[in-house]
A and B are shown apart, each in its own frame.
Chain A
Amino acid sequence: MNSGFADRKYILNIDLSSYSYSVEERDDFSEQIGGTGLAVELMKENLKPSADPLSEENVIVFAIGPFTPAYPLASKTVAMFKSPLTGNLGESHAGGRSATSIANAGYDAIVIRGRSEKPVYIVVDNERVHFRDARVLWGIEDSLITGRIIAEREKGRGIRSIMRIGGAGERLVRFAGVMTETYRHFGRLGLGAVFGSKKLKAIVIIGRGSREPLDAKKYREVYDEIFRIATTSDAMKKYHLIGTPVNVAPLNELRALPTRNLESGFFEMTEEISGEAFAENNLARRIACNHCPTACIHIAALKEVYEDEPYFFKTIMISYDYELIYSLGSMLGVGERDGILKLIHRVETYGLDAMSTGVVLSWATEALKKRVITEKDTIIPLDFGDYKGYLKAIDYIYLQPNEFYRNLALGVEKAAEIYGGEEYALSFGGNEMAGYHTGEAAYIGYLIGLRHSHLDNAGYSIDQKLRERLPPEELIDLLVKEEIWRQILSSLVVCFFARGVYTPEVVSKAFEPFGVEISEEELIKRGERIYREKLKLKTNLGYRADKLRIPEKIFNIESFRGKLNKNYISEALSYYRRKYLSI
């Protein structure tokens, strides 16, 4: 069992170059809490800043937190690595059974280094690690089938996690992800390509451990309180019902739903692809991450007819979320639900990141229209709204049949560097944008967020809450303050959807049954420290918030409070540099 609240942390080190492993017991990590905080320290210790992300020098850290699996909703795993997409720090979080399996197997973190000569997959079975031949699995491009084969071969049904890559990871698409429990993903920033470069097809983690709290009575009380807030209050209601796609319609109303490579923030076919429409017409099942009562994972059933064979159908189950409807729907001008579901399924099959794939393709469509590239490059015509063309294009991103698709597989930042069209290449810090054209705070948030995720500091939410623009300095401080608190949540690996449940007061209380007294102020202090350390690590890897490219296009279209102000953004960034980057 992982250490939980003790001062000791157990780190499993796996070396793919020598097919060896060891467990390290550390007592100097209690300040870091776990998750993000712990992963930052392990990256600092193990990663050479100059490492090529796709070489054996890169390391992968998986870290979980002290509340896993003691309390519900603390079931995220933080993955850290050097990103082959941005060349900077990669941080990606996923749920499923990944975190609880790592905890139950007895570890706080797993560090993977080196590179296998031939394809392998790893099985972590509590204290033992097995290196299994994956030569037969290599080349199976479908991440779902890969998962099924491994599930049949290995034990641990119900108490394991199977993280695997599809063909995109094998072929080093820089925005390939790692899928776990079929529908959860370490999606962003290219962990799949790092797996691929290490010839690592999958990791199975089987855990059956247990531990005890110090104060049994108190533990059960606090558990019940958290369970009660999670299941009876409104804190998580939004995710219960329609799920994250509930945002599609309101964001569109606000003119904030990026459409056709941000030609507009308004998509005229939104009614067709809203969360409500998916729920009413396609939703077939909901499932949950381990130890989470919410079951926010919404699965649609897509029944397809074989046109040449009467009465022959297939039905596939596809998980959908807001970000996917944005990136593979409105961003590509696709207003048919079935079309979006087919695109999601294709992306899932190859193990690509859905957001990056959508933005890369929307750029290619505009570039083709503007004759920056030609149909000789794209092989097929790309048109907004034509999902069939995009399905084919996704095949090509995986297969990379020509130079253009090889370049496209490097991400939109690189592709635009090569071909031009940078003003409409919608990436920030090298990472393709998320689905919020809400205002300056969202974009500043992408630029200064230490994960380059919209979830780092929720700028999109600040945009929507504020009646008018704050002075840029105040906005920066507000974004950083939010990000500092979220460092605590992601160090506890509490799902951000549960941030309304895990208030500072509840977090502090949840530590008590384990003999740890930690005040709310102390929590914030630790959050500040983790933030600083992560920023330092990123800076060592070459990150400069104020030097990042801002695609001109974001200034051309209306947001709900008019066009974005360029000066405001640069003032904000220069304040950020002065106040935070000089630490």
Chain B
Amino acid sequence: MAGLLTIKDIEKCVGCGLCMYACARRKVRKPFIGYDHSGILAVSLSGFERGATIIVCKACPDPPCSQVCPTSALIPRKGGGVVYREKLCTGCDNCIEACTIGAIFKRRDGKVALCIHCGYCASYCPHGVIEYISTKQKVSEKQEVIK
């Protein structure tokens, strides 16, 4: 079952950015050091006086980013969000424009970085801001709320 990265308690975010470094490090054979390949961004809320938050793909069921991708580098993913086929990406930035919450980031090589919901970062969040759950769980929690 595919999983989803979800926000557990955004108010607990301390802005440490460990999720960003984890995201860049996620590939077993090719971990990167630094921000460039990170699909998640930790920011302050217009200055740390107002606290911090993270910006990350919310796994839209009908993702606009994939609709504007001319090469099908981004295709809808089962359970929400998109699958990124990097080789097909021409770096047109349409997806960056299309994402209303700004959760797609430009890499220095021209391509993009975005959350693929692998969940690697969740185990490095020291304060329980994000968690990785199964898509099934997500659906049942939503139903719980509706009830």
Contacts and interface: CB of A to CB of B under 8 A. Distances in A.
Given A148-B46, A292-B16, A69 B33 contact: yes
A316 B28 CA distance: 44
A219 B24 CA distance: 13
A126 B32 CA distance: 17
A158 interface: yes
Interface string A74-118: 000000000000000000000001001001100000000000000
Given A207-B35, A210-B36, A295 B126 contact: yes
B28 A4 contact: no
Given A211-B34, A317-B49, A220 B16 contact: no
Contacts of B84: none
B19 to A, nearest CB: 11
B52 A287 contact: yes
Contact of A181 (B21, B44, B108, B126): B44
| Contact count band on A | 35 or more
B51 interface: yes
B83 interface: no
Contacts of A294: 126
A212 B28 CA distance: 12
B37 A157 contact: no
A103 B36 CA distance: 12
Interface string A4-32: 10000000000000000000000000000
Contacts of B42: 158
Nearest to B105: A208
B28 A220 contact: yes
B43 A70 contact: no
A69 B21 contact: yes
Contacts of B43: 157-158
Interface in A283-302: 285-295, 297, 299
Nearest to A284: B51
- Max chain B CB contacts within 10 Å: which of A100, A290, A297? A290
Contacts of A104: 34-36
A466 interface: no
Given A213-B31, A295-B127, A287 B47 contact: no
A223 B46 CA distance: 31
Contacts of A209: 34-36, 108
B14 interface: yes
A285 B28 contact: no
Contact of A182 (B25, B47, B126): B47
Contacts of B21: 69, 72, 291
A210 B24 contact: yes
Interface string B75-90: 0000000000000000
A254 interface: no
A289 B15 CA distance: 8
B41 interface: yes
B7 interface: no
Interface string B46-71: 11111110010000000000000000
A295 B30 contact: no
A140 interface: no
A98 to B, nearest CB: 13
A290 B42 CA distance: 9
Contacts of B36: 104, 208-210
A144 interface: yes
A287 B33 contact: no
A5 B14 CA distance: 29
Nearest to A286: B14
Interface string A212-250: 110011011001000100010000000000000000000
Contacts of B142: none
Interface in A133-166: 144, 147-148, 151-152, 157-159
Contacts of A97: 17
A151 B47 contact: yes
A562 B29 CA distance: 61
A462 B34 CA distance: 38
- Max chain A CB contacts within 10 Å: which of B17, B30, B37, B43? B17
B124 interface: yes
Nearest to B48: A182
Contacts of B31: 212-213, 216, 219-220
Nearest to B27: A216
Given A181-B44, A220-B25, A288 B14 contact: yes
A212 B127 contact: no
B98 interface: no
A183 interface: yes
B126 A216 contact: no
A69 B34 contact: yes
A247 B126 CA distance: 24
B97 to A, nearest CB: 16
Nearest to A293: B126
B18 interface: yes
B16 A210 contact: no
A97 B15 CA distance: 10
Nearest to A514: B33
A316 B50 CA distance: 10
Contacts of A64: none
17 contacts: A70-B33, A104-B34, A126-B108, A158-B43, A182-B44, A183-B48, A207-B35, A208-B36, A209-B108, A210-B34, A210-B37, A217-B28, A220-B28, A287-B15, A287-B51, A288-B15, A291-B21
Given A97-B17, A212-B30, A227-B124, 18 more contacts: A1-B33, A104-B35, A104-B36, A151-B46, A157-B43, A183-B48, A208-B36, A210-B37, A212-B32, A213-B33, A217-B28, A286-B14, A287-B15, A288-B16, A289-B16, A295-B126, A297-B48, A317-B49
